[in-house]
Amino acid sequence: MTTTTIDGQELKRLAEAGLKWLRMNQQIVNAYNVFPVPDGDTGTNMVLTMQSAYDEIGQSLEKSAGKMAQALAHGALMGARGNSGVILSQIWRGFARAVDDQEVIGVECLIKALSTARDTAYKGVVRPVEGTILTVTKDIALAAKTAYEEAEKLGKTINIVEMFERIVKAADESVQRTPELLPVLKQAGVVDSGGKGLFFIFEGMLRYLHGESLEAAAVYHPIPITHFDEHVMDMVEDGQDYEVVLDFVPTRALQWDDFYAQLEQFGTSIQIGEGEGMYRVHIHVPAEKRYHPIDYAISLGQVTKVVIENLQTQMNESKPEGNNLHKFIQNHIEEGQIGVIAISPGAGISRVYSSLGAAAVVNGGQTMNPSTQEILEAIEELPTDKVIILPNNKNIIMTAQSTKSLSQKKIAVIPSRSVPQGLAAMLHWNPEGDYEEIIEEMTSSLKAVRTCEITNATRSVEMNGVPVKEGQLIGLVDGELLVSSTNLQDCCLQTLKAAQAEDYELITLFYGAGLPKEEAENIAAVIREAFPNQEVELQEGGQPHYPFIISVE
């Protein structure tokens, strides 16, 4: 690379740097989730999206920046997960479109690319909201243009590194301003997570340009244990043989910088989760240092639990089909019939969709968000070209919609924001029905059912006048946080009351993975007693993070 242009290989390294740095800091991004719920993690979704973009070009020796950009954009598009992932893929798409078939990206081209990225991102959102990743994209594009114009006025030229310095600074400032533009961010005391994620991508690129390390996290701070996810650090780095996860209770308050620094002597992929009076440490270590983290933790307090796993066997076992059960052809559909693809968060719920006639079920996996590609594969596998998708999660609607431009088939996305909504819609499906009529019926059926969701708060916050402590149980009614409680049974009862369940006929409880069947049955019995005029049905849902998803109709 020269100081004034970026070629294909340079673009590849920049993308890699952006990805690495974002991955390093993804938990920070996740922690900025406005809603204190453990799914729809923006950071993880953006990492997975960038990863998919990078996977497309990782082995490529392409010198043309234009071709590299196209490939990156394609990878991002296919791997997009969650709303933030989809918008990120739109940013790449706009970027690639502007670069077109040019061999190198010069300063002027960069400015144009950022503007086009902004335009494409905004166009991709039905109702653009300021104070989000869109605003950051806008501010970056403006900063780039301004930097160039200022230099011109002074009769100077500006190089790529200087451009990136201005871009990153603008991104940072834009992210800090997001609470001013979006009141709900201010209320929750956070900045916009998608914007922060974008900032990290560009900051990573700048760190690369400056020759700075991408291995160390920007901030040393443990994340809430509800956000702790071992599988998120899924890469096996060279030289690392074992994964060590340990729980410990320190005798004294920890000095985080020292703690992290010490762990970095042992290995990589360090993640620290903070629970109630305890910490969970995750680290990858080489064989000869496999006990070092444990000894170190013992020296600081009491170690209560240790799990050591061989990374190689872990990798071998987690084959793509095994772990994620992406697509699941459930029911035979004839050509010309209407096939429904349901996105499901749990095995039990998948079975229910299957029993109702869903042609295919796509499992969202641990992040509960499937990628565009995963949904697309299910679409293409169906023998029919009349497809209806039920996303069943507000963070999956955009991902589902982006499949429309990627397939020749007729695709309609029913905007179901929860499993209960999706099931209500499913009942109106008729394989032989008129496509447009069925879509209309399924869509209007969404409002006939109320959704209650019970989960653990990932953050302390006050919402709708309800004070919530991190880790507490919270109850949401149709997406609104209305209840907090320290007890699962009580949370369920209160949430059902808040949903006015006594005015309805049928309460269906889907219990999550990790909740023993017996406990679920006990709670169902208590609910039956509390709501004697309602029918109460209990089904195994198998979903992660949510002990109960409840439909009230």
Partner 1 sequence: MKIALVTDSTVDLPADVIEQHHIHIVPITLIVDGVTMEDGGGKNSEVPMIDRNKFYRDLPQMKTFPTTAAPSPINFQKVFEHLLNEGYDHILSVNFSKELSATVNNAFLAAENFAGKVTVVDSRQISMTMGFQVLAAAEAIEELSSSASLSPEEVVKEAVRRMNDVRQREFIYALVDTLEYLHKGGRVSWVKAAIGTMLKMKFIISVVDGQVTRVGQVRTRRGGWEKIKELLTPHTPFERLGVFHCGADPEEVNEIVEMFVQYLAPSPSSASVNKPFVIPLTPIIGAHTGPNLIGLAVLSCKAS
Question: In angstroms, rounded to a whole number, what is the distance separating the alpha carbons of residues 472 and 135?
Answer: 33
- 423 forms part of the interface with partner 1 (CB under 8 A): yes
User: Judged by CB under 8 A, which stretch of 56-64, 282-290, 388-396, 532-540 contacts partner 1?
Assistant: 532-540
- 548 forms part of the interface with partner 1 (CB under 8 A): no
Nearer of residues 310 and 430 to partner 1, judged by Cβ: 430
Residue with tokens 């160390």, as numbered in its chain:
216
Nearer of residues 468 and 538 to partner 1, judged by Cβ: 538
Q: Taking the complex as a whole, how short is the minimal distance between the CB of residue 430 and partner 1, in angstroms?
A: 8
Six token digits for residue 53: 């973009």
Half-sphere exposure of 168 (CA within 13 A, CB side): 18
Nearer of residues 204 and 346 to partner 1, judged by Cβ: 346
Nearer of residues 50 and 509 to partner 1, judged by Cβ: 509
Six token digits for residue 431: 């394989």
DSSP-derived pairing of the beta strands 301-310 and 466-468: unpaired
Nearer of residues 187 and 539 to partner 1, judged by Cβ: 539
Q: With CB under 8 A as the rule, give the number of residues binding partner 1.
A: 17
Q: How far is CA 65 from the centre of its chain?
A: 29
- Quick check: 16 and 24 in contact, CB under 8 A? no
The binder of partner 1 chosen from 435, 448, 525, 529 (CB under 8 A):
448
Of 362, 371, 313, which is closest to residue 342 (Cα–Cα)? 362
Of 86, 24, 15, which is closest to residue 49 (Cα–Cα)? 86
- 535 forms part of the interface with partner 1 (CB under 8 A): yes
Q: How far is CA 487 from the centre of its chain?
A: 28
Nearer of residues 147 and 449 to partner 1, judged by Cβ: 449
Q: Taking the complex as a whole, how short is the minimal distance between the CB of residue 426 and partner 1, in angstroms?
A: 10
Q: What part of residues 450-509 is at the interface with partner 1 (CB under 8 A)?
A: 504-506, 508
- 531 forms part of the interface with partner 1 (CB under 8 A): no
The binder of partner 1 chosen from 424, 438, 439, 496 (CB under 8 A):
424
Question: In angstroms, rounded to a whole number, what is the distance separating the alpha carbons of residues 54 and 75?
Answer: 7
List 106's β-bridge partners, or say none: 5
Q: Considering only the C-alpha atoms of the chain, give the largest distance between any 2 of them, rounded to a whole number of Å.
A: 80
- 356 forms part of the interface with partner 1 (CB under 8 A): yes
- Quick check: 367 and 84 in contact, CB under 8 A? no
Non-local CB neighbours of 127 within 8 Å, separated by 6+ positions = none
Nearer of residues 377 and 441 to partner 1, judged by Cβ: 441
Q: Taking the complex as a whole, how short is the minimal distance between the CB of residue 437 and partner 1, in angstroms?
A: 13
The binder of partner 1 chosen from 176, 213, 355, 486 (CB under 8 A):
355
Q: Taking the complex as a whole, how short is the minimal distance between the CB of residue 545 and partner 1, in angstroms?
A: 22
User: Judged by CB under 8 A, which stretch of 251-259, 386-394, 407-415, 531-539 contacts partner 1?
Assistant: 531-539
Question: In angstroms, rounded to a whole number, what is the distance separating the alpha carbons of residues 401 and 532?
Answer: 41
- Quick check: 549 and 453 in contact, CB under 8 A? yes
Q: Taking the complex as a whole, how short is the minimal distance between the CB of residue 424 and partner 1, in angstroms?
A: 8
Of 197, 223, 245, which is closest to residue 19 (Cα–Cα)? 197
Q: What part of residues 369-408 is at the interface with partner 1 (CB under 8 A)?
A: none
User: Judged by CB under 8 A, which stretch of 49-57, 299-307, 317-325, 535-543 contacts partner 1?
Assistant: 535-543
- 539 forms part of the interface with partner 1 (CB under 8 A): yes
Non-local CB neighbours of 477 within 8 Å, separated by 6+ positions = 450, 451, 452, 495, 498, 499
Q: Taking the complex as a whole, how short is the minimal distance between the CB of residue 504 and partner 1, in angstroms?
A: 8
The binder of partner 1 chosen from 145, 221, 289, 428 (CB under 8 A):
428
Tell me, what DSSP letter sits at residue 222?
P
The binder of partner 1 chosen from 338, 352, 360, 382 (CB under 8 A):
352
- Quick check: 121 and 133 in contact, CB under 8 A? yes
Q: Taking the complex as a whole, how short is the minimal distance between the CB of residue 381 and partner 1, in angstroms?
A: 22
Q: Taking the complex as a whole, how short is the minimal distance between the CB of residue 40 and partner 1, in angstroms?
A: 26
Question: In angstroms, rounded to a whole number, what is the distance separating the alpha carbons of residues 384 and 338?
Answer: 7
Tell me, what DSSP letter sits at residue 81?
B
Q: Taking the complex as a whole, how short is the minimal distance between the CB of residue 428 and partner 1, in angstroms?
A: 8
Nearer of residues 244 and 509 to partner 1, judged by Cβ: 509
The binder of partner 1 chosen from 427, 466, 513, 526 (CB under 8 A):
427
Angle subtended at Cα 65 by Cα 62 and Cα 66, rounded to the nearest 5 degrees: 105
- 337 forms part of the interface with partner 1 (CB under 8 A): no
Non-local CB neighbours of 55 within 8 Å, separated by 6+ positions = 75, 79
List 392's β-bridge partners, or say none: none
Nearer of residues 261 and 506 to partner 1, judged by Cβ: 506
Binding interface with partner 1 (CB under 8 A): 351-352, 355-356, 423-424, 427-428, 448, 504-506, 508, 535, 537, 539, 553
